[in-house]
Structure 1
Amino acid sequence: MNRADTGLEPRLALIAGNGSLPCQIAEALDSAGREFRIIAIKGEADERTRAQADTELGWGEIGRLYKFLKKTGCRDVLLIGGVSKRPDFTSILGDLGTLKRLPTIIRALAGGDDSLLTKVIRLFEVEGYRVVGIKDVAPQLLASSGVLGKIQPNQGDWRDAELALRATEKLGELDIGQAAIAVGGRVVALEGAEGTDAMLQRCAELKRIGRIRSKGRAGVLVKTAKPNQDLRVDLPTVGPMTIDLAAAAGLAGIAVEASGALIAEKEETLKKADNAGLFVIGIEHGTRFGVTSKGQADERS
């Protein structure tokens, strides 16, 4: 990997969890000529990420992490990829750098209603690092506005998209979830702590037992960011698995927030959606749709 230094931007530390996103981001950074270093999270990063990583560190090795950042001259930090395991801080006892910072770590992580991710950001910021998001380094990976694949929504689809969008806005106000599903002018599922995938599986079961009735493919999954959500570390994401589950649930398509949601493995995701006969669209928060007599949707905010 080139990772050539253009001298235009600070060197970036890519702290990588599981999934394919870390490698996608690395490829985008490399193409842009942005110099970076990959830090794989031990027990989380997959084989491909570990093969490209400059180092691999466990959860408790905060002192070693800061030492690596200082040694490599990284000033910007990007946290990317999933975390499936509960952090194991047992290794903290062997990391003198972590012990030295323990009072600062405790102050950053304790108290308040902030999410864990927000507190992790604070840990970096108190050390003088800048935490960035995908929008800052690889905005081309975010969803754009409009129809993104080959399948076009119909009148009913646009109405369902608007209804589900309104539902996600209410969910966001209550800080509950990021996604909702509307079918035939009725909201049939709201995302809770179980996440989007489990909600789609629940929707498929409801359709199987006849609680959701529709002719052919119908209904729209809408996924957007919550108000004041920190998009640097908590970006709404859809990918190939989302398409599979939406197809299994009998939905007509998916709508995501333009410039505020990530389409993982974008080319594969859109190709899979086209093959399954599902549309994928990017929409704006607060958008309302009017439908013309020709069946085309006009956006109005």
Structure 2
Amino acid sequence: MSRLGIIAGGGALPAALAAADPDALCIAFAGAEVAVPEARIQRHRMEHLGALFSALRAAGVTRVVLAGAMSRPALDPAALDPVMTALAPRIMAAMQGGDDGLLRLVIAIFEEQGFAVTGAHDLLPDLTATPGLLTGPEPSDTARADIARARAILDALSPVDVGQGCVVASGLCLGVETLQGTDALLGFVAATPRHLRGRGGVLVKRPKLGQDLRVDMPAIGPATVQAAARAGLDGIAIAAGGVMLLDRPALLAAAEANGLFLLAEP
């Protein structure tokens, strides 16, 4: 069986993948904070992609999964190895656009180097949900209308590569997820005065239209639920099969404790 390489970023997902596959080679970039035990990590500089590809091949890796949050690096032009020097113009051009375009390029680069790129959800199928109400009360008619409104907003923004999350309350858009992420969006909603927003509302998390789900699949976890509760929302709606549920038991328990619904939509 081919060996897996885990390109690890922040959050719980890389650690879950590493625990599920003890033989996997775990890679993290210099300076990145990852939850995988340091003893299992091989560190590389972003400027030295040639060395990274060589290390993967030497370890027998044929498949890679990119997992966890990764920030856009500040590259040192003087430190680029020959492989990175050749790739730099394409990478720098992609970094001027949205995350989806950049991540598509990252996939293409790994594939050009002979590695198959797989999704975390393919390795851990329980990460995603089948359609249905996962926990909490049945969404009201108002909540379902807000879900439809948020979906329409996210679909409209997909062509410009912005946003995997949106909050709508009583038909009013209270915020759209941008580079700062879901926690920042929910913090912004929580700070919105009541007289402007009314009561309740729904967070909708979905992939962008046409998004390659092997990387950057939307995700929620217990902290998302807690932030949604602090923002006074009634629930969260996700795309079935298209959003990862991190630490699922704790996530569902948090939703139940806070009286929020969690709905997976087709």
TM more than 0.5: yes
1:128 pairs with 2:128 = no
Which residue in the other structure is 2:206 paired with?
224
Q: 1:100 to 1:202 in 2, by over 3 A?
A: closer
List aligned pairs for 1:67-106, cutoff 5 A: 67-84=54-71, 86-90=72-76, 93=79, 99-106=81-88
CA distance in 2, matches of 1:25, 1:202: 32
Q: Distance in 2 between matches of 1:21 and 1:230?
A: 18
1:263 aligns with 2:245: yes
Of residues 37-46 and 17-26 in structure 1, the stretch that sits farther from structure 2 once superposed is 37-46
The aligned runs of 1:140-151 (5 Å cut-off) are: 140-151=126-137
Give distance in 2, aligned partners of 1:267 and 1:275.
12
Equivalent residue runs for 1:103-182 within 5 Å: 103-106=85-88, 108-111=90-93, 115-182=101-168
Q: CA deviation at 1:52?
A: 5.0
Deviations 1:199-247 (CA, angstroms, capped at 9, x unpaired): 2112112144x21112xxx211111111121211121111122112111
Contact 1:40 1:53 in 2 (8 A): no
Deviation, 1:88, is 4.5
d(CA) in 2 for partners of 1:80, 1:70: 19
The separation in 1 between residues aligned to 2:152 and 2:255, in whole angstroms, is 24
Give the alignment partner of residue 206 of structure 1, picking from 187, 192, 197. Answer: 192
CA distance in 1 between counterparts of 2:8 and 2:202 reads 31
Q: Is the CA contact 1:58–1:91 (under 8 Å) kept in the aligned structure 2? A: no
- Structure 1: give runs of 5+ residues left out of the alignment: 1-6, 285-301
Match of 2:15 in 1: 23
Question: When the two structures are superposed, what TM-score results if normalisation uses the length of structure 2?
Answer: 0.88
Counterpart residue number, 1:243 = 225
| Paired position in structure 2 for 1:253 | 235
Task: Report deviation, 1:69.
Answer: 0.7
Over 6 Å off, 4+ runs: none
8 Å Cα contact 1:151/1:277 also seen in 2: yes
Instruction: Please provide the CA RMSD for this pair.
Output: 2.3
AA partner of residue 115 (structure 1):
G
**Secondary structure of the corresponding residue to residue 217 of structure 2:** coil
Q: Greater CA radius of gyration, 1 or 2? A: 1
| Partner amino acid, structure 1, of 2:252 | L
The structure whose residues are more often helix, as a share, is 2
Q: Look up the match of 2:29.
A: 41
Call closer, same or farther: CA 1:207–1:249 in 2, change over 3 Å. farther
Contact 1:59 1:89 in 2 (8 A): yes
Alpha-carbon distance in 1 for matches of 2:174, 2:28: 39
- Answer with 186-195 or 137-146: which moved more: 186-195
Q: 1 CA distance for matches of 2:160 and 2:70? A: 24
Q: Aligned partners of 2:29 and 2:134: how far apart in 1? A: 33
Change (3 A) 1:188 1:100: closer
Rounded to whole Å, the distance in 1 between the matches of 2:151 and 2:74 is 38
Structure 1 counterpart of 2:53: 66
Distance 1:257 1:251 in 2: 18
Is the 1:22–1:49 contact (alpha carbons within 8 Å) kept by the matching residues of 2?
yes
Which range moves more in the overlay, 157-166 or 15-24? 157-166
